[in-house]
């Protein structure tokens, strides 16, 4: 996995998401690309986090082999796909 972010993103993420650290959040990432964000959020939130991803590239499903990560193939503009992802995650997002 590769992570490409402008440095300012990390401070924003920390300010916005810090209250969820250690609280087993369920998190959906739209657009997986090279997978770096999946691992970043998994490591940031901690052991109890469940990280879901959605990408139009089927090859991104390889990241589902990692603990706490599940990636679906589909488009974020497809309501049926989003419903399937939400159902898998227990309706949480």
> For 60-65, which contacts have Cβ atoms below 8 Å and span 24 or more sequence positions?
60/32, 60/33, 60/35, 62/35, 63/1, 63/32, 63/35, 63/38
* E-only strand ranges, 11-68: 26-30, 50-55
Q: What is the pLDDT of residue 60?
A: 96
Q: What is the pLDDT of residue 73?
A: 97
Q: Are 66 and 39 in contact (CB under 8 A)?
A: yes
Each residue's pLDDT, cut to its tens digit, for the chain (93 residues) gives 677 676 788 888 899 999 999 999 999 999 999 999 999 999 999 999 999 999 999 999 999 999 999 999 999 999 999 999 999 888 866
Q: What is the pLDDT of residue 90?
A: 86
Beta bridge partners of 35: 2
């Amino acid at each position: 996995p590769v992570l490409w972010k402008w440095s300012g993103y990390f401070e924003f993420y920390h300010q916005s998401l810090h209250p969820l650290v250690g609280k087993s959040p369920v998190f959906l990432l739209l657009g997986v690309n090279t997978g770096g964000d999946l691992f970043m959020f998994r490591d940031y939130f901690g052991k109890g986090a469940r990280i879901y991803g959605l990408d139009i590239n089927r090859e991104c499903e390889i990241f589902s082999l990692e603990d706490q990560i599940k990636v679906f193939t589909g488009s974020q503009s497809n309501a049926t796909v989003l419903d399937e992802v939400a159902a898998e995650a227990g309706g949480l997002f």
